[in-house]
């Protein structure tokens, strides 16, 4: 029988996992045990503090449902999601930087013709979004699928609105022969992540706010290229420097330029002020 103590228990635990058949799993468990034990030795938690940590993780799991993933929210607010994203997206020159998917993506959004209005009558300041999709080397990509979604003027996504029977603020488009796309919608707003659970309690205890700056989500796919998941953020937003999930990158910030009434680039006559966002995306070749 081994006489275990705070100095010897780590090696004993590692030995118990030493026969794990899968080498990748064996490496991951060993690293987890080492870092977890080093963390415990570093902070020297009391029994009460350790119990609080267990209860926090228990409540985090209990908050999860088909429409809410509190553990992803925890990962996001600790910066772990963006760290994993960065490790998995070391990109060549010309490729657009990535960000996290976020919790409000919906599969099979309605496919719409170029120039369609995805706002579906939601109130807000009209916004024309246009851009191009190309390979990182600059070759325009025809037929690329451009999935978009964003919040409304009050910071809510359509899936958060009870009783709404149709998609709003989201849609799917295909680029034309020159790799171009454009659509109409409304100006999105900054909004808080769900903060009525344990993650919200953590933010409050550490005097952090729950807000994300205004942005439009993009998921862009084309044959022979890695699928791009990213946002374009509104320049001047008050939360650009303190995004609750650490998703902002300088290259993804653009002006949502306010325009006077007149004729928009796609020929649409605008009788009120409107906004314009232009962004050109580059995709990393697969493999």
Predicted confidence pLDDT, tens digits, the chain (287 residues):
568 999 999 999 999 999 999 999 999 999 999 999 999 999 999 999 999 999 999 999 999 988 789 999 999 999 999 999 999 999 999 999 999 998 889 888 999 999 999 999 899 999 999 999 999 999 999 999 999 999 999 999 988 888 777 889 999 999 999 999 999 999 999 999 999 999 999 999 999 999 999 999 999 999 999 999 999 999 999 999 999 999 999 999 999 999 999 999 999 999 999 999 999 999 999 98
Q: Look at residue 53 and tell me if it is in a domain.
A: no
Count of C-beta atoms within a 10 Å radius of residue 139:
11
Locate all alpha helices (DSSP H) within 156-271, ordered by sequence. Answer: 198-205
Residues 88, 29 share a domain: no
**Any residues with CB less than 8 A from the CB of 145 and at least 6 apart, and which?**
172, 173, 174, 220, 221, 222
Residues 29, 130 share a domain: no
Q: Look at residue 250 and tell me if it is in a domain.
A: yes
Q: Look at residue 214 and tell me if it is in a domain.
A: yes
CA dist., res. 95 & res. 228, Å (int): 9
CA dist., res. 188 & res. 161, Å (int): 15
pLDDT of 1:
55
Residues 226, 93 share a domain: yes
Residues 103, 40 share a domain: no
Give me the CATH number covering residue 156.
Answer: 2.60.130.10
Q: Look at residue 152 and tell me if it is in a domain.
A: yes
Does residue 77 contact residue 206 with C-beta atoms inside 8 Å?
no
The number of domains in the chain is 2
Q: Look at residue 215 and tell me if it is in a domain.
A: yes
Question: 93, exposed or middle or buried, with CB in 10 Å at 0-12, 13-18, 19+?
Answer: exposed
- Here the tokens at position 210 are 């729950």
Q: Look at residue 67 and tell me if it is in a domain.
A: no
Residues 217, 278 share a domain: yes
Residues 271, 175 share a domain: yes
CA dist., res. 237 & res. 229, Å (int): 21
- The secondary structure of residue 277, as a DSSP letter, is E
pTM > 0.85: yes or no = yes
CA dist., res. 282 & res. 136, Å (int): 5
pLDDT of 48:
98
Domain that includes residue 18, residue range: 1-44
Count of C-beta atoms within a 10 Å radius of residue 28:
12
Q: Look at residue 51 and tell me if it is in a domain.
A: no
Residues 166, 31 share a domain: no
Q: Look at residue 68 and tell me if it is in a domain.
A: no
Residues 160, 91 share a domain: yes
Residues 138, 1 share a domain: no
Residues 274, 132 share a domain: yes
């Amino acid at each position: 029988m081994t006489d275990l103590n705070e100095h010897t228990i780590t090696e004993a635990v590692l030995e118990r996992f030493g026969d794990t058949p899968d080498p990748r799993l064996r490496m991951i468990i060993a690293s987890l045990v080492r870092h977890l034990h080093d963390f415990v030795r570093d902070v020297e938690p009391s029994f009460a503090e350790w119990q609080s940590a267990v209860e926090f993780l228990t409540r985090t799991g209990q908050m999860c449902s088909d429409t809410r993933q509190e553990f992803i929210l925890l990962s996001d607010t600790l910066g772990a999601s963006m760290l994993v994203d960065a490790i998995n997206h070391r990109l060549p020159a010309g490729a657009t930087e990535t960000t996290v998917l976020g919790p409000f993506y919906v599969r099979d959004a309605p496919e719409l013709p170029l120039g369609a209005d995805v706002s579906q009558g939601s109130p807000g300041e009209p916004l024309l979004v246009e851009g191009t999709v190309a390979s990182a080397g600059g070759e325009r990509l025809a037929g690329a699928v451009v999935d978009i979604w964003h919040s409304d003027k009050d910071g809510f996504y359509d899936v958060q609105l009870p009783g709404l029977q149709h998609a709003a603020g989201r849609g799917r488009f295909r680029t034309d022969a020159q790799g171009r796309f454009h659509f109409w919608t409304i100006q999105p707003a900054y909004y808080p992540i769900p903060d009525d659970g344990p993650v919200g309690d953590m933010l409050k205890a550490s005097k952090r706010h729950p807000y994300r700056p205004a942005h439009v989500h993009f998921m862009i796919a084309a044959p022979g290229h890695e699928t791009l998941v990213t946002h374009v953020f509104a320049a001047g937003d008050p939360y650009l420097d303190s995004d609750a999930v650490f998703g902002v990158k300088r290259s993804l910030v653009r002006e949502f330029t306010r325009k006077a009434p007149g004729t928009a680039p796609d020929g649409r006559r605008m009788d009120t002020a409107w906004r314009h966002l232009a962004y050109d995306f580059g995709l990393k070749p697969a493999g």
